Structure 1
Amino acid sequence: MSDNVLMVLTFKSIEHILEVGGTQSWALDRARARACKYAVLCRNARSARVEGPEAHGSAFLVGRISDVVPSTDTEGRWLVLFSEYAHCAVEGQWEGRNPIRFRTAAEFADLDFETLSFQPMPAILQERQPDTRRGLTIAEAKAGLSLALGVPPSAIEITIRG
């Protein structure tokens, strides 16, 4: 299963992806995405909010998946974190309407994952890392419990009695 690939159609820029540590706000099967070794990001140039210059449907970035955690953007969705990333430029990789697909590495005739020049991801912004000296916010606690329990943050209720 380690050769499974998550493929997404995104309008986000490379800079944004590197800033958040991966690609996010996806409604997907977390367990299936975590079983994937790579994520191939394809450009959604038809979005009114497109942030990159690549042609529609072209693969522009490959990430080595390190984890899938609750999205920092959209409650109930997922952030696919990368440990490393590699630039690529392979046109015509996207077909269909659903912005998420699962494929195998062998299905990518024009993309050889073993020859890509992977670079380590930049350090994730400090504000994303909870400061345990000050305690946790409700949102941070929900995000952590969500990850541990495999449920969306919206399914967690926290009651404080005092």
Structure 2
Amino acid sequence: MPDGTARDEQKTERFNMFFSPSEMKAIDDWAWQNRVRSKSEAVRRLVQIGLGFDAEAQKLVDATISAINDYETSSRKVVETMGEHSEGDPPWLPAFVEAVASMGQTTAEDLGKILQIIGRVEVARAIMKAEGTVDDALIVQQMTELQEIVEPFEKLISDYESRKPKDGDVS
């Protein structure tokens, strides 16, 4: 619910608008799935959801960027450490290194998927907001920068894959 709106606030303001048939179907489908009895209540709830999301969207983008940057820093350290093996290493170390690399690759792929979803949502959000504003342009630019952050992850994984011992190789 938007700031300053009380849950028990009387609904006295009237607002008429037109929807396309596909928009009306989407509202009806949403209302049915969420057990909302009236179209008015469904639209009211969807507006509240949209306003709430819009208020928090930048925090989501910022948190995602921070998580990706932290992961990139940690991944670099892990990849550098994995390349430092010696004769006295315990026999379980190669399997452990492989597991860490696999976990890192899975995490990078998951972060990439999250980034794509956020990118699609942010582009839609920017388009639906007042078109042509500086804020909209900045949001699209931030999403482009996020996509560029994923590329180093792929390079880190590729670098590790090229350095890890092949089956049958003895280091």
Q: Same fold (TM over 0.5)?
A: no
- Say which structure is richer in strand: 1
| Higher Rg of the two aligned structures | 2
- Say which structure is richer in helix: 2
TM-score, with length taken from structure 2: 0.20
TM-score, with length taken from structure 1: 0.21
